Amino acid sequence: MKDDTLRKLKILAESAKYDVSCSSSGTVRRNVKGGVGNTVGGIGICHSFAEDGRCISLLKVMLTNYCIYDCAYCINRRTNDIPRATLSVSELVDLTMEFYKRNYIEGLFLSSGVVRTPDYTMERLVRVVKDLRTVHRFNGYIHLKSIPGASRELVDEAGLYADRMSVNIEIPNEASLKLLAPEKDHESVYRPMEYIQQGVLESAEERKKHRHAPRFVPAGQSTQMIVGATGESDRDILFLSSALYGRPTMRRVYYSGYVAVNTYDP
């Protein structure tokens, strides 16, 4: 690994550590002729648990920790003076394949800060997972974060290559979200959630008719809420969580205890 790539990996793995919604479950990708690896029920490597209780290793990394948003709860907010880095699509694909071939990891957990626009960022994430699946025939597990505000076309394309997708709600209440992240709103989160749900349900119906129809996000979706950054009660949080679990494709709602990473900001 080149020194510059290692430097980027250290920065982007550190920036990714606050996202707790990192779990592998509910999917099987068996190897096929010409493929690399399979999925069965160091730096940047995190340990998660499959549905059957196995401990598995994922490369947990961001594509970039640059971000156009200034969310008060986030270490990667644009006004923070922290080391920044960006991996190119080819660098991230090569890293994943090299780690996988050496049996360091069993899959990839990929997120990103938002650069330029949600669609620009989402398009780059899609390129990573598409290259892994179609060019390198990677059959390991992929959990992909969907960017709030991304178009349905890009979410639909991503769902053809990812095993699980997630969009983080972050703050349970819209008013509290506006207080800490005035550039965001819940609508931009719920829209891609709906796109993912519709894609999963449509894919399930199609596979009833055609056995070899493409699978869409076979491990469903998840989300994350930060607990303790704002004044919502347990009842408020669990009421929203219950509503989310009522969705047919929501597999897991994660709770991230608030960590004051920006201590200079009251």
Domain of 16: which CATH number?
A: 3.20.20.70
Tell me the per-residue pLDDT of 57-94, one tens digit each, with 9 for 90 and over.
889 999 999 999 999 999 999 999 999 999 999 999 99
Does 261 reside within a domain? no
Which pLDDT belongs to residue 34?
A: 60
Does 231 reside within a domain? yes
- Given a contact cutoff of 8 angstroms between Cβ atoms, the answer to whether 41 and 47 are in contact is no
Closest among 18, 62, 61 to 262, alpha carbons compared: 18
Q: What is the pTM of this model?
A: 0.85
Domain that holds residue 11: 3-256
- Higher pLDDT among residues 201 and 54, named by residue: 201
Does 115 reside within a domain? yes
Query: Assign residue 240 a region: left if phi > 0, alpha if psi is -120 to 50, beta otherwise?
Result: alpha
Does 264 reside within a domain? no
Does 45 reside within a domain? yes
The total number of structural domains in the chain stands at 1
Unique residue bearing structure tokens 């200034």: 70
Query: Assign residue 89 a region: left if phi > 0, alpha if psi is -120 to 50, beta otherwise?
Result: alpha
Share above pLDDT 90 across residues of the chain, in percent, rounded to a whole number = 67
Does 120 reside within a domain? yes
Does 83 reside within a domain? yes
Report d(CA 217, CA 196) in Å as an integer: 8
β-bridge mates for residue 56, sequence order:
48
Mean pLDDT, residues 116-121: 96
Does 85 reside within a domain? yes
